[in-house]
Amino acid sequence: MQNVLQLNGITKYYGNILALNNVSFGVPAGSVFGILGPNGSGKTTMLGIVMNILRASSGSFEFYGQPSSAEMRKKIGTLLETPNFYHYLSADKNLRIAAEIKGKGFDQVDDVLKKVNLYERKSSKFSTYSLGMKQRLAIASCLLGNPDVLIFDEPTNGLDPVGIAEIRDLIKRLATEGKTIIMASHLLDEVEKVCTHVAILKRGNLLTAGKVSEVLVNEDIVEVGAANMDGLETALQSLNGYTSLTKTDTVIQLHYGGIAGSLENINRHCFDNGIVLNHLQLKKKSLEAMFLELTGN
């Protein structure tokens, strides 16, 4: 699968403050790609760089294998902050102004309003809209010109549960049309429910990137190994806490329904049962453990 966006060693300093540290990853075509991290992790800075609002201190990026250009950016719809619509004008008139600014015709206005489920309210003033409706109108503005790529910064921020559900459903619908969607979020739950791929940032460093199904596993997996594998399996049968056990020729994997117990306790249990481990590793973190690590708790 071709990468729509490829980041190569992006680093960004604000004075002496390192906002992004040598970040590299690719965004596959047709994916919903979440950039996940707590506030201050560098998400917005990264989106600003790929949209040429900010300049990287070092590194490079390409869209479709080509350096960024004004022509390329016309193929991208962006929602980096709440847009400035005219409160006293209708949704229809606001989008006509947006279309004129973007150099697009008015023929798409009704289509994009239908896509975001606002066509029935197109004559209502912007000031009468709920927060969720205002955000959907902002996404409608992004859709003018039918861009292949959409970039959203915290698209559900500040919305009530109904508004959040509306935006999440809309993103999933747009993804089924083949659009590539790149979205920043600090919500693990959002990325898990909406995204197909994720890159996790913490204080400007990339912790991991890949498919959501592989990165955000909902269980801890601990690998253990010993010279006496049969003896190890016997010893582990009296260990409490794990939900299941799988074996290979060289290691045994202990699966936990959430966060695993202390590795030290596992080691001590095996030693007390006459088994010396030659391998002990937390292989994958649960969603909960990943969240605790991200937020520094």
With a cut of 60, say whether residue 297 has pLDDT above it: no
Give the pLDDT band (50/70/90) at residue 236: very high
What pLDDT was estimated at residue 214? 78
Give the pLDDT band (50/70/90) at residue 199: very high
pTM of the model: 0.76
For residue 169, give Cα distances in angstroms to 134, 136, 139, 141, 175: 15, 11, 13, 17, 10
For residue 46, give Cα distances in angstroms to 37, 41, 109, 155: 12, 10, 30, 16
Model confidence pLDDT, tens digit, residues 50-83: 998 899 999 999 998 888 887 788 789 888 876 7
- Dist. CA 96–CA 93, nearest whole Å: 5
State whether residue 11 is helix, strand or coil. Answer: strand
What pLDDT was estimated at residue 54? 92
Give the pLDDT band (50/70/90) at residue 292: low
Question: What share of the chain has pLDDT > 90, as a percent?
Answer: 57
| Tokens 């000031």 -> residue | 127
Higher pLDDT, 216 or 186: 186
Q: Are 12 and 39 in contact (CB under 8 A)?
A: no
Give the pLDDT band (50/70/90) at residue 286: low
**Which segments of the chain does DSSP mark as H helices, in order?**
43-50, 70-73, 91-102, 109-115, 131-143, 161-176, 188-194, 212-215, 229-236, 263-272, 287-295
With a cut of 90, say whether residue 31 has pLDDT above it: yes
Model confidence pLDDT, tens digit, residues 80-137: 876 789 999 999 999 999 888 887 878 889 999 999 999 999 999 999 999 889 999 9
Give all domains of the chain, ordered by start, each with its CATH number.
3-215 (3.40.50.300), 220-295 (3.30.70.100)
What pLDDT was estimated at residue 285? 66
Mean pLDDT for the chain?
A: 89
Question: What share of the chain has pLDDT > 70, as a percent?
Answer: 93
- Dist. CA 206–CA 46, nearest whole Å: 11
With a cut of 60, say whether residue 151 has pLDDT above it: yes
With a cut of 90, say whether residue 218 has pLDDT above it: no
With a cut of 80, say whether residue 143 has pLDDT above it: yes
H or E element that contains 208:
strand 205-211
With a cut of 70, say whether residue 247 has pLDDT above it: yes
Q: Are 32 and 194 in contact (CB under 8 A)?
A: yes
With a cut of 60, say whether residue 16 has pLDDT above it: yes
Buried residues in 2-38 as b, exposed as e (16+ CB within 10 A) = ebbbbbeebbbeeeeebbbbebebbbeebbbbbbbbe
What pLDDT was estimated at residue 267? 94
With a cut of 70, say whether residue 293 has pLDDT above it: no
Mean pLDDT of 257-276: 87
Higher pLDDT, 178 or 220: 178
